[in-house]
């Protein structure tokens, strides 16, 4: 099956810093989503981005489908950005099952 | 507001006592799915449904049942829960789009289940 690798596995930032999270995937995909899992366990949709670039406030994402990677940018980080960030993909012709990476644990200190 | 809801959000139960976790979506989505999340194992698909009365197994279906009698609801049934089913459960839904898998999936808030 498709492999999804996220890096770095852990990241510690001071409030106000910027960061880039990376997601590499091993095959072509029809769907790529970024999620934030908050400390209460909820999965929050950040981006649906199988290709191209999107921005939402301090967050933006870019997927280069031909090179099989996606990047999530967090600018001016806040303590509320802490949590685990997951990349998840749906390969072509599948049952729509999302295959998740192992996530990046982000800790933003005040 | 477009959303996926799950109930209960938290549940502590005992081995063998049948339980149902409900999932409902108000977006008229054909596709619905259940995942469980465990430390070190990530999120794994349990069952999915492409439409009413159409369900199929995911990667870890043992010990679970589902039904899809209405488009908006997709309950997860544990007939005889065991401690290894202690987990965080998520329901998800999306539009059905043939084989393309396009369009985002929306997740419920999660149900934290503990089986003693």
In tens, the pLDDT along B20-74 reads 999 999 999 999 999 999 998 899 999 999 999 999 999 999 999 999 999 999 9
Strand-pair partners of B38? B42
Q: Quick count: other Cβ atoms within 10 Å of Cβ B74?
A: 29
Q: How far apart are CA A33 and CA A78, in angstroms?
A: 22
pLDDT of B98 reads 64
- Test the A interface: residue of B36, B38, B43, B108 with most A CBs within 10 Å: B43
Supply φ then ψ for residue A80, to 5 degrees: -70, -10
Residue of B nearest to A100 (CA): B43
pLDDT of A37 reads 96
Q: How far apart are CA A53 and CA B91, in angstroms?
A: 27
B101 vs A35: CB contact, 8 Å cut-off? no
Q: Give chain B's mean pLDDT.
A: 93
Q: Which residue has the higher pLDDT, B103 or B65?
A: B65
Assign A6 to helix, strand or coil.
strand
CB B110 within 8 A of CB A41: yes
Environment class of A39 (CB within 10 Å of its CB; exposed 0-12, middle 13-18, buried 19+): exposed
pLDDT of B99 reads 59
**Over its length of 110 residues, how does chain A's per-residue pLDDT go in tens digits?**
899 999 999 999 999 999 999 999 999 988 999 999 998 899 999 999 999 999 999 999 999 999 999 999 999 999 999 999 999 999 876 678 899 999 999 999 99
Q: What is the 3-state secondary structure (H, E, C) of chain B?
A: CCCEEEECCEEEECCCCCEEEEEEECCCCCEEEEEEEECCCEEEEEEEEEECCEEEECCCCCCCEECCCCCCECCEEECCCCHHHCEEEEEEEECCCCCCCCCCCEECCCEEEEEC
pLDDT of B67 reads 96
pLDDT of B104 reads 87
Q: State yes or no: pLDDT of B106 exceeds 70.
A: yes
| Token pair listed for B20 | 């149902």
CA angle B45, B49, B55 (to 5 degrees): 100
Helix (H) or strand (E) holding A45: strand A43-48
> Given A43, A50, A91, which is nearest B107 (Cβ)?
A43
Rg (CA), chain A: 13
Q: How far apart are CA A49 and CA A41, in angstroms?
A: 23
pLDDT of B2 reads 84
Distance of residue A95 Cα from the nearest chain B Cα, in angstroms: 8
């Amino acid at each position: 099956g498709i492999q999804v690798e996220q890096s770095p596995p852990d990241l510690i930032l001071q409030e106000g810093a910027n960061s880039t999270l990376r997601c590499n995937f091993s095959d072509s995909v029809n769907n790529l989503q970024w999620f934030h899992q908050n400390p209460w366990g909820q999965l929050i949709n950040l981006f649906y981005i199988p290709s191209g670039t999107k921005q939402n406030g301090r967050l933006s994402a870019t997927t280069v489908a031909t090179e099989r990677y996606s990047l999530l940018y967090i600018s001016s980080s806040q303590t509320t950005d802490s949590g685990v960030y997951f990349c998840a993909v749906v390969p072509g012709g599948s049952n729509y099952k999302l295959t998740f990476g192992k996530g990046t644990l982000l800790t933003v200190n005040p | 507001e477009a959303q996926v809801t799950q109930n209960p959000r938290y549940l502590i139960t005992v081995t063998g006592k049948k339980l149902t976790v409900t999932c409902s979506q108000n977006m008229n989505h054909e596709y619905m799915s259940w995942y469980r999340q465990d430390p070190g194992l990530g999120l794994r698909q349990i069952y999915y449904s492409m439409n009413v009365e159409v369900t199929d197994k995911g990667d870890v279906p043992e010990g679970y049942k589902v039904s899809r009698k209405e488009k908006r609801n997709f309950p997860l049934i544990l007939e005889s829960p065991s401690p290894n089913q202690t987990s965080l459960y998520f329901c998800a839904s999306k539009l059905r789009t043939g084989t393309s898998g396009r369009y985002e999936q929306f997740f419920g808030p999660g149900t934290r289940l503990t089986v003693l």
